[in-house]
A and B are shown apart, each in its own frame.
Chain A
Amino acid sequence: GQSLEQPSEVTAVEGAIVQINCTYQTSGFYGLSWYQQHDGGAPTFLSYNGLDGLEETGRFSSFLSRSDSYGYLLLQELQMKDSASYFCAVRNDYKLSFGAGTTVTVRA
């Protein structure tokens, strides 16, 4: 079977750093993606890791360790607009499958 695990909720203050971990079990793994979804909105793509290591895109970074079946999304310099749900998603056997999501709440 296939599974993705990520924390359900994280709360932090503006300007802080948040790390959202994702562990996965799947066959035919190609890579790990991260998507952001605001309340009532559509998921939007943030990043993709196909190889081990860190990918940086502005305030957001994503990491993958294929040997550990583990990845994380790092949100830096948190802003109020970063309050949203964040999903890790695996590409395996050409499918794109999502985790249950982590709700990030940013407090002033």
Chain B
Amino acid sequence: EAGVAQSPRYKIIEKRQSVAFWCNPISGHATLYWYQQILGQGPKLLIQFQNNGVVDDSQLPKDRFSAERLKGVDSTLKIQPAKLEDSAVYLCASSLGAGGNTEAFFGQGTRLTVV
């Protein structure tokens, strides 16, 4: 079974530029998550989709971040314009559902450096 695919693996941009990350979840997984993980910290939930609807985006900085999940399958996360504090690893995860005992599978992440 293929895992969660993310691209690119690494990205370096200048502040005020824009960047987009792509995620393809495990086939059949209805729930998709985007997390931001700053070095030394735990993953912070940015947005959670159930199929193509948003379950939670309370911690998404909506003035600069946007995300979509077209047709309830793959997803893109965009940052425009980027700030220095956006430097982090962006992790995508998916799970069969959003119920209690539902394991989330993570991709390898995109390491973003904003200079």
Binding site for B on A (CB under 8 A): 30-31, 33, 41-45, 48, 50, 87, 91, 93-101
Contact = CB atoms under 8 A, between A and B. Distances in A.
Nearest to B3: A42
Interface of B: 33, 35, 41-45, 48, 50, 55-56, 91, 93, 95, 98-109
Contacts of A45: 103-105
Main SS of chain A's interface residues? strand
Nearest to A85: B42
A96 B106 contact: no
Nearest to B109: A42
A41 B106 CA distance: 10
A102 to B, nearest CB: 10
Contacts of B109: 42
B41 A101 contact: yes
A42 B42 contact: no
A50 B91 CA distance: 25
Contacts of A31: 100-101
A95 B42 contact: no
A48 B100 contact: yes
Query: Most chain-A CB neighbours within 10 Å: which of B42, B44, B91, B98?
Result: B42
A71 to B, nearest CB: 14
B55 A95 contact: yes
A98 B101 contact: no
Contacts of A98: 35, 42-45
A65 B79 CA distance: 40
A1 B50 CA distance: 23
A87 to B, nearest CB: 5
A67 B105 CA distance: 29
10 nearest A-B pairs in the assembled complex, by CB-CB distance: A42-B106, A94-B98, A30-B100, A98-B42, A31-B100, A45-B103, A100-B42, A50-B100, A98-B43, A101-B42
A13 B22 CA distance: 41
Contacts of B56: 93-95
Contact of A91 (B42, B91, B100): B100
A98 B45 CA distance: 8
